[in-house]
């Protein structure tokens, strides 16, 4: 851990001291000391190979072949990374097979962890301080490779994602049914894109110039799902979607943002005490003229190249929030290790903090202003850190309480990130780190506006299916933009290659194949 802290500190200083607001990735890696033991028997220095693999990920080189070609075309770069000159005074560069053999047989779990840590630290800190990496994108693109995204690229990738997604979704349809599962899903995608209720959205949508699908037909098929099996299926599909995206990004550690989504629920099924008789309805403060809601916890990855929902957990009446958050964390960990958890004030609580500490999850969230906090900030100067702040009635101590200036005024932050009192730059940057949580807010806005089928059904299976369906569509759209970025040989898209609405329209229009 001390080694990683040292590397992280060095990278932060190097990035902040970069000239002209840009970072020379190669010089950064060449100067970085990974503290690896040198084995004189190795044909190629291990540290040089690891730095080359880190460079591959930072530059978006997808395959070892591309890395070999890049190094052979830029021999000075290979020399800076630590590769040595041979007897003929030429830099000896590993070929594709050597890199592949190293990844399969010559690398340890600790080495993999180091590669991912350095890569994610560079990306996170550069993004945090808005420092662009000098990635030399043009040298990465193969000869003849397209540098612009065509309509053909879009259709090809949409078909690919459709063929991946549709077969996985559970929508039981009999063999002799009038409509196929694929046709019903096309109607559902259309309903989601226009944001209408099932009956209204199905009207006017025809399949192959045949009769319209009735809304009740779709609902009948959706209701055939079982809650447990549906939940397990959605988790598996999300896992496959992340794996698809991770082929290009190779993410192992990630910052995760969590939030609670409330969908108003209107019904007359209330008992004498005013509570809903439906066990999936959770009460809360009045919003949109109701006290009843269907709630879901969601976890989104925070990454400069990807917006993806990694897990969802339906809130259950009578179940403490901390238990559902723990379940959410466990789902995320099946895909990626959590480097930092970002959450809003709604997740404050000594039991929540204790659970996160027990699960060894570092967290950062603004703190609600209680009486004790108000007294404390009266004596604390701005940009200060208070260690081991007693919080709640269970004797819990918040590792680090930070009082600093945010965009909208002073902000109180609770975190388990280790902070030095004299590291003023890092303290001032904590609100910027927290602001990355807004990716989950904007993601929910996109889902709600352009990918959410509406329903008044009191059948929980329908509601769960529709909410999960919106997540799958949103994730597919995010993966599409990533695939198009890779296809064009770009390292970042200044704007989305295709809007969510346009993607959904193409998704239900193209034919599989």
Within a domain: 86? yes
- The average confidence (pLDDT) of the chain is 84
Domain boundary among 109, 140, 171: 140
How much is the pLDDT for 387?
92
Domain boundary among 140, 158, 174: 140
Within a domain: 487? no
Judging by DSSP bridges, how do beta strands 282-287 and 290-303 pair with one another?
Answer: antiparallel
From 13-22, 216-225, 288-297, the region with the lowest mean pLDDT: 13-22
How much is the pLDDT for 207?
63
Share of the chain above pLDDT 90, in %: 38
Rounded CA separation 162/257 (Å): 27
How much is the pLDDT for 479?
95
Please write the tens of the pLDDT for every residue from 335-358: 999 999 999 999 999 999 999 999
**CB contact at 8 A, 190 and 201:** yes
Within a domain: 400? yes
Rounded CA separation 161/165 (Å): 6
**Residue 389 belongs to what domain range?**
358-429
- Phi, psi of 446, rounded to the nearest 5 degrees: -65, -45
Within a domain: 455? no
The domain total for the chain is 2
How much is the pLDDT for 147?
54
The helix (H) or strand (E) run that includes residue 246 is helix 227-249
C-alpha radius of gyration, the chain, whole number: 26
Within a domain: 362? yes
Q: Model confidence at 136, in pLDDT bands (50, 70, 90)?
A: very low
DSSP 3-state assignment of 324? helix
Within a domain: 381? yes
Please write the tens of the pLDDT for every residue from 24-68: 777 778 778 776 766 666 778 888 888 888 888 777 676 678 888
Within a domain: 133? yes
Q: What is the rounded average pLDDT of the residues 322-342?
A: 96
* DSSP assignments along 451-492, one per residue: S--B-----HHHHHHHHHHHHHHHHHHHHHHHHHHHHTT-S-
| DSSP structure class, residue 418 | -
Tell me: pLDDT of 414 over 80: yes
Share of the chain above pLDDT 70, in %: 87
**CB contact at 8 A, 352 and 328:** no
Tell me: pLDDT of 385 over 80: yes
Please write the tens of the pLDDT for every residue from 442-468: 888 888 888 999 988 889 999 999 999
**Closest alpha carbon to 487 in 10, 58, 60:** 60
Tell me: pLDDT of 319 over 70: yes
Please write the tens of the pLDDT for every residue from 268-292: 555 545 555 577 888 888 888 888 8
How much is the pLDDT for 22?
62
Q: What is the rounded average pLDDT of the residues 225-254?
A: 93
How much is the pLDDT for 91?
84
Please write the tens of the pLDDT for every residue from 51-110: 888 888 777 676 678 888 888 888 888 888 888 877 677 888 888 888 888 887 777 877
Q: Given its phi and psi angles, is residue 274 left (phi above 0), alpha (psi -120 to 50 degrees) or beta?
A: left
Please write the tens of the pLDDT for every residue from 158-200: 999 999 999 999 988 887 778 888 989 999 999 999 888 888 8
Domain boundary among 429, 448, 467: 429
Rounded CA separation 119/127 (Å): 12
How much is the pLDDT for 140?
33
From 141-150, 213-222, 252-261, 296-305, the region with the lowest mean pLDDT: 141-150
Tell me: pLDDT of 145 over 50: no
Within a domain: 212? no
């Amino acid at each position: 851990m001390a080694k990683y802290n040292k590397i992280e500190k060095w990278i932060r200083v190097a990035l902040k001291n970069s000239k002209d607001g840009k970072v020379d990735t190669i010089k950064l890696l060449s100067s970085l000391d990974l503290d690896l033991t040198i084995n004189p028997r190795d044909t190629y220095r291990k540290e040089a190979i690891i730095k080359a693999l880190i460079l591959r990920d930072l530059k978006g080189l997808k395959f070892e072949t591309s890395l070999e070609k890049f190094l052979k075309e830029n021999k000075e770069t290979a020399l800076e990374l630590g590769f040595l000159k041979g007897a003929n005074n030429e830099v000896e560069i590993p070929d594709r097979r050597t890199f592949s053999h190293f990844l399969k047989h010559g690398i340890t779990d600790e080495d993999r962890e180091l590669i991912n840590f350095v890569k994610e630290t560079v990306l996170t800190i550069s993004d945090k301080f808005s420092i662009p990496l000098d990635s030399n994108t043009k040298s990465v693109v193969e000869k003849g490779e397209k540098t612009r995204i065509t309509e053909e690229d879009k259709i090809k990738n949409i078909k690919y994602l459709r063929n991946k997604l549709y077969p996985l979704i559970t929508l039981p349809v009999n063999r002799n049914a009038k409509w196929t599962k694929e046709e019903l899903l096309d109607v559902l995608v259309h309903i989601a894109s226009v944001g209408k209720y099932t009956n209204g959205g199905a009207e006017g949508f025809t399949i192959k110039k045949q009769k319209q699908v009735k809304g009740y037909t779709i609902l009948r098929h959706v209701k055939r799902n079982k809650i447990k099996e549906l939940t397990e299926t959605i988790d598996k599909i999300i896992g496959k979607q992340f794996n698809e995206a991770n082929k290009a990004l190779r993410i192992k550690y990630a910052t995760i943002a969590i939030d609670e989504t409330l969908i108003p629920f209107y019904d007359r099924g209330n008992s004498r005490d005013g509570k809903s008789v439906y066990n999936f309805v959770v009460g809360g403060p009045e919003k949109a003229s109701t006290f009843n809601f269907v709630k879901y916890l969601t976890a989104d990855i925070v990454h400069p190249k990807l917006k993806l929902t990694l897990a969802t957990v339906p809130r259950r009446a009578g179940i403490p929030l901390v238990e559902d958050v723990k379940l959410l964390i466990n789902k995320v960990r099946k895909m990626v290790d959590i480097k930092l958890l970002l959450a809003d004030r709604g997740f404050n609580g000594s039991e929540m903090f204790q659970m996160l500490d027990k699960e060894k999850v570092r967290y950062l969230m603004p703190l609600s202003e209680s009486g004790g906090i108000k007294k404390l900030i009266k004596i604390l100067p701005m940009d200060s850190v208070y260690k081991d702040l007693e919080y709640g009635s269970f004797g819990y101590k918040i590792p680090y309480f930070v009082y600093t200036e945010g965009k909208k005024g002073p902000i109180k932050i609770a975190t388990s990130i280790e902070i030095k009192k004299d590291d003023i730059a890092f303290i001032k940057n904590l609100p910027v780190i927290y602001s990355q949580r807004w990716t989950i807010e904007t993601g929910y806005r996109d889902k709600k506006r352009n990918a959410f089928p509406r329903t008044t059904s009191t059948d929980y299976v329908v509601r769960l299916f529709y909410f999960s369906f919106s997540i799958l569509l949103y994730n597919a759209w995010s993966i599409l933009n990533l695939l198009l970025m890779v296809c064009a040989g770009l390292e970042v898209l200044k704007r989305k290659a295709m809007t969510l609405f346009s993607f959904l329209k193409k998704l239900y229009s193209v034919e599989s194949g």
